[in-house]
Structure 1
Amino acid sequence: MHLPITQRSINCLALALFGAALVAYGKQRDPLPSWTEGPNKASIIEFVETVTTPGSPKFVPESRRIAAIDNDGTLWTEQPLYFQALYLLQRIKEIAPEHPEWKTKEPFASVLQGNLKKALSGGEKALLEMTLATHAGLTEDEFSDSVRRFLSSARHPTTGHLLTDMVYQPMLELLDFLKANNFKVFIVSGGGIEFVRIFSENLYGIPPERVVGSSLDAKYEFRDGQPVIVKQASIDLIDDHAGKPVGIHRYIGRRPILAIGNSDGDFEMLEYVTTGDGPRLGMIIHHDDPEREFAYDRDSSIGRSARVLDEGPQRGWKIISMQSDWKVIHPEEKK
């Protein structure tokens, strides 16, 4: 018996063929187009496909597909100075009239005099002192508004681009690839947790509840009849080096299966993640491209990378070369 060929059946067949073509295209489409073909790109794709394929001996259920990714130097530029440090410098100048004692007190005096080298010569201790002085006493909304104003116009001191344009295009693609495969992606940053939370969703598609970072103590208060959270002049967590696994334990509650960093401050995080049971992947972003970004590692005061480069390969961590593994660095190069 021959069934009549109707326009409806033709349309249904066409839709079925089109759907099949879309599925085939989706499987063939390159999820990391800004990454150079090579062993590192292949390792990333193979790892994701292996842990997400039902029936695979290395299949990982969605509840345990957790990725921990550093921010400064891993998702966006950190040279010549951490962007949060640039915010600190601006805020010191903004509120200096309220602190006449800063005219003679270091490191504030040097900031106000424009001598940044001297102001920052105190290293992490100086940055911490500036952080406490400029953050403590602010409510959550006051701090958020201040950071948003800063990021709306702050420009990179070398490129002149907005700081928010200094993200890495290959990493944006990797974030999308992981999220498309039902990974829960967390930012685990040495920077301030509240600072990163302001822009994490807009820049990376990562909601604030998936940000782990350094933090000050906080206190619940009533101000002007309203309940608020107020930053205190004391440290809750320094989310760097050994503090990163602690932050992961405290805020995530499960050991991730994938970790990406760029400096020795990320060593303990990668060590903690990659020594767990089951399939694991660790990656280090190596800043070795002086033409398109910066070239620095062992001798840098910011993003110093010595131990991760020495021990990483022995531990199976992939060393991602910006120069060799990335076709472009920032999104505008893609246009």
Structure 2
Amino acid sequence: MDAWLPSWNEGTAKSTIVGFVDRVCATGGSDFVPPAERIAVFDNDGTLWCEYPMQVQVFFALAEVHRLVTQNPGLLAKPAFKAMVDGDLKALATLPKKEVFEPVFATHAGMTVDEFRTKARAWLHAARHPGVGQLFTQGAFTPMRELLDYLGAHQFRTYIVTGGGVEFVRAFAESLYGIPPEQVIGSSTRMQAEVQGKDIVLRKRAELGSFDDREEKVVNIALHIGRRPIFAFGNSDGDLAMLRYTLGGPGPRQAWYLHHDDSEREFAYDREFKLSPFAEGLDHANEYGIGVVSMKHDWQRVFDDHADAIPETA
């Protein structure tokens, strides 16, 4: 057990996860699940890496939104655009998540997908969290990376299902988590294919395609995976539908919430975080059959002592 999840404290959460994996992998056992059906889904922001006081992609967009507003001053009539231009994180934190992510997606419209990924990797290679000073990529949670590795070693296919932009997360998911781009599901803008000489490129448009949050996560899991997961992990009410969907199928299955209750090693927040609140899930996790992992009590450590930046090219 310790060999696989060394950053997890011994206790109910760790033993329950390990017991579940043992059961579904035990050939001939009553709870055996064939490898093809061992699907695990994870939220990203706040579940796999730090999202407080703002999701990483919002910080990525801040530098670009000034350019966009200069080109179209009328955008300042929208609260999220104005708050970004003013650098008013408190105002942003009071707005609905979908509203905040509108300028996030709009700032990179017009780029090809390859141009966007190159820009995102270059930014992640050097960008630092304004509060704690470490690289944003150093905000990945060590215990969760261990859990991803543990599940992968037991023939689970792990997917990220995130409200963040799918192309942004694909820029780092494989190098940071070992999850390939085809196993990332996220919010998306519409794209158009353009012929450039002998090549065809995909160009991002400002129009939102899918905002991958709440019930839309379930829709996109069905659309892109085609199987109901048997294991799921989230941290907010935006993940609740995904967790309940996971638990709703037949056979053995598990769903978990990560509770940010560690103000010393990370941040302590739940229902008051308006951008991504944890209220209904916190109040009804037991009723819904969802386990709760305490960052403070269930983890020996939160972050790696040292972590490499995302390479600018991949």
So what's the TM-score if we normalise by structure 1?
0.86
Aligned residue type for 1:307? E
The separation in 1 between residues aligned to 2:92 and 2:290, in whole angstroms, is: 36
- Whether 2:284 is the aligned partner of 1:323: answer no
The 1-side partners of 2:262 and 2:302 are apart by 10
Determine the structure 2 residue equivalent to 1:89: 62
Do the aligned residues in 2 keep the contact of 1:78 with 1:303 (CA within 8 Å)? no
Cα distance in structure 1, aligned partners of 2:58 and 2:74: 18
Larger radius of gyration: 1
Q: Distance in 1 between matches of 2:16 and 2:212?
A: 28
1:113-150 residue CA offsets vs partner (Å, 9 max, x unmatched): 43343466544354243134312221111111111121
User: Which protein is richer in helix relative to its size?
Assistant: 1
Deviation at 1:59, TM superposition (A): 0.2
Alignment equivalent of 1:272, drawn from 232, 242, 245: 245
Provide the C-alpha distance between the structure 2 equivalents of 1:185 and 1:228, rounded to a whole number of angstroms: 28
- C-alpha separation between the residues in 1 aligned to 2:242 and 2:106? 29
> What's the counterpart of residue 284 of structure 2?
311
- Is 1:62 aligned to 2:35, yes or no? yes
**Equivalents in 2 of 1:212, 1:293: separation in Å?**
26
Which residue does 2:26 correspond to in 1? 53
Alignment gaps of 5+ in structure 2:
308-314
Structure 2 residue corresponding to 1:101, chosen from 47, 62, 73 = 73
Q: Which amino acid aligns with 1:203?
A: L
1: CA distance between counterparts of 2:260 and 2:88? Answer: 27
Q: Deviations over 1:151-206 (max 9, x none)?
A: 11110111100000001011011111100000000011111111100000000000
Q: How much has 1:88 moved relative to structure 2?
A: 0.9
Unmatched runs of 5 consecutive residues or more in structure 1 = 1-27
Letter in 1 for 2:232: A
Match of 2:136 in 1: 163
Q: Distance in 2 between matches of 1:271 and 1:235?
A: 26
Cα RMSD (Å): 2.1
Distance in 1, Cα, partners of 2:306 & 2:120: 27
Task: Give the structure, 1 or 2, with the largest relative contact order (CA under 8 Å, sep 6 or more).
Answer: 2
Q: Report what 1:13 is aligned to.
A: none
Q: Find out whether 1:182 has 2:158 as its counterpart.
A: no
Aligned-partner SS, 1:214: strand
Partner of 1:297: 270
Partner of 2:219: 246
Q: Secondary structure at the match of 1:42?
A: helix
SS state at 2:212 partner = coil
Distance (whole Å) between structure 1 residues aligned to residue 305 and residue 88 of structure 2:
32
User: How many residue pairs end up in the alignment?
Assistant: 306
After TM superposition, the score normalised by the length of structure 2 is 0.91
Contact kept, 8 Å, 2:142 with 2:303, in 1: the verdict is: yes
Output the CA distance in 1 between the equivalents of 2:131 and 2:216: 31
Instruction: Report if the CA contact (8 A) 2:98-2:211 is conserved.
Output: no
